[in-house]
Amino acid sequence: MPYLPIADYGIIGNMRTAALVGMNGSIDWYCSPHFDSPSIFGALLDDAKGGRFQIAPIGEQVRRRQFYWPSTNILVTRFSLQDGIAEIQDFMPIGESPDSPVYRQLHRRVRCIRGPIRLAVVCRPAFDYGRKPHQVEITDRGAIFRSANAAFTLSTSVPLKRDADGAVAADFSLKEGESQNFIFQNDGDPNASADKDAAHPRSEAEASAPFERTVRFWQDWLSSCTYHGRWRERVERSALALKLLTFEPTGAVVAAVTTSLPEVIGGSRNWDYRYAWLRDAAFTIYALVRIGFTQEAAGFVNWLQNHVSKHHHFRGERLPPVFTIFGEPLPGEEILDHWEGYRGSAPVRIGNAAVSQYQADVYGELLDSLYLYNKYVSPVSYDFWVSIRHRLDWLCDNWQKPDEGIWEMRNREEDFVYSKLMNWVALDRGIRLSEKRSFPGNHVRWLEARDQIYEEIMAKGWSQKRNAFTQFYGSDDLDASILIIPLVFFMAPTDPRMINTIKAILASPSEGGLVSDGLVYRYPPTPRVDGLPGEEGTFNMCSFWLVEALTRAGHANPAWLDEARLLFERMLGYANHLNLYAEQTSFQGEALGNFPQAFTHLALISSAFNLDRALGK
């Protein structure tokens, strides 16, 4: 089976893990029980050996459509044939007590709208990224799959038969109005005695109950959204996507639910994003708080206080930029040589070497989110303030050091302007928080360091040759991360230096700029400053950052406000059929990189919020 485009997938989840469902009815990515657990279905990264769970009609000229049940994360895949219509409702149950077994389940409800229709189902797990063999037991209620240290049950009343490579399969027919349920459950220990009928519904009412509870949960959650502007549907879908990226038991927020979806087809820019970057999580909390969701901010602070802070690195030396969802250090980066990668884009990586990098900007995003948490959610405790104060003192001694930066350069350390900017943000927000709460601290020292950083950015981060802020001290290359300067209130959006920087970025790459038909590269596509081969796509978050920078500058230049709206609407056109985005957009308009991407959706929310406010009623 050929690989689907990345944009042809939708996501379902339960704030513990997630799965990607293709428009062909195939679940091609699913890790269980958590986001960063080994995959059980991984055809996304190896069509032949990765494993999948597909349900699809048998017939010719099948038309496919995919959409979400209104205001939820329940995904509907509809198949239209000449003689009937069938649909699959895919979801992970939610809204139960935290220890409920439903959080280990994935539900697939197949309905015949018009019929009769004949369908085929194939469930082919591939344990531990396809590295461990398993055995299959057919039961009168489905099938059990067991490997050395894990077991899964497929519960259904459809009679199953063994198929090749440890799979089970079946053909079945549905008449108009009939339905069938398939529940795939992680049973954990393969040696434990399990109730083979535990997941199997005994009646239609029992089968419908998890669906109805899940609908209520998502619709109740979304009702807290305070954004009612021009792009409400898009903002709400982005909020729902970001909610799926949160890990409810600890409050962590993962960058994406996938690993190794390539930034360049056939290239090596393939990274594991199933972890919690401080930067991504802090930006996500900022975006959600802006539109009324404060519970996630409280969860994020819980993750910091009760999980991350348990490790010595929270107070001592450099703070790692990324942690597991439990606040622990990441495992070492590993390559899965037995998988070919999405469309042959090897290597497939698990783990992420970025954990060993120094990314100095994370302190700014972290302190900014804590400042907003204190302002809009709940007061920061004194004990937590003490740990913040220690970090501010540490930053005063270390802000001058070069780092690998927001883009995680694997070939160099530099004095990146964005990192210095976010060091300024960290000290600025720390000072503001201290003053607002009358917390004790080394205020004079923090103020002096903050002002030193400001002056140094203005002197060394500014290029007289380019008449713009550049990527790092001594460089003449632009960097889209600089667009955040007015967003963090370092400089007025109408300051001549900011205006000139935006003008420089707006030029095409052939003219030294970063914008191609309204889409923004994060830094010049050639030559490669990151030392990696291949030309990556435009970076979706940066495109939304440009919209917001133009919006803020539009107060002095109304033409730029019009340009901001045009670019925003154009970016909306690059979403997939479900209004979801990957990390990047290729030169051909194809979704690239891990999917769906927190960065992109949080930037969409922020730019929509500010643009709508600037345009007025």
The DSSP-derived string for 150-219 is -EEEEE-SS--EEEGGGEEEEEEEE-TT-EEEEEEEEEE-TTS---TTTTS-SSHHHHHHHHHHHHHHHH
Note whether 547 and 493 are within 8 A (CB). no
What is the biggest distance separating any 2 CA atoms in the chain, rounded to whole angstroms? 77
Question: CB–CB of 31/50 below 8 Å?
Answer: no
Domain ranges of the chain: 6-220, 224-615
pLDDT at residue 97 in the model: 86
Q: Which fold has domain 224-615?
A: Glycosyltransferase (1.50.10)
Alpha-carbon distances of 43 from 273, 317, 548, rounded to whole Å: 18, 40, 37
Q: Count of alpha carbons within 13 Å of 543, Cβ hemisphere only? A: 31
Residue indicated by tokens 């704030």: 15
DSSP 453: H
3-state secondary structure of 99: coil
pTM of the model: 0.95
Phi first, then psi: give them for residue 114, nearest 5 degrees: -135, 140
Question: How much is the pLDDT for 192?
Answer: 66
- List the structure tokens of 106: 């994935």
Dihedrals φ, ψ of 474, to 5°? 90, -5
**Rounded CA gap, 402 and 481, in Å?**
17
CATH of domain 6-220: 2.70.98.40
Sign of CA dihedral 338, 344, 350, 356: positive
Check residue 310 and give its pLDDT: 77
Low-confidence residues of the chain: pLDDT under 70:
192-205, 311-316, 527-528, 531, 617
Burial call 443-459: b when 16+ CB within 10 Å, e when fewer: eeebeebbeebbebbee
Distance CA 591, CA 343 (A): 13
**DSSP secondary structure letter of residue 61:** S
- How far apart CA 111 and CA 518 sit, in angstroms, is 42
CA distance 271 to 252: 19
| pLDDT tens per residue, range 378-387 | 999 999 999 9
In this prediction, residue 477 carries a pLDDT of: 94
d(C-alpha 46, C-alpha 344), whole Å: 8
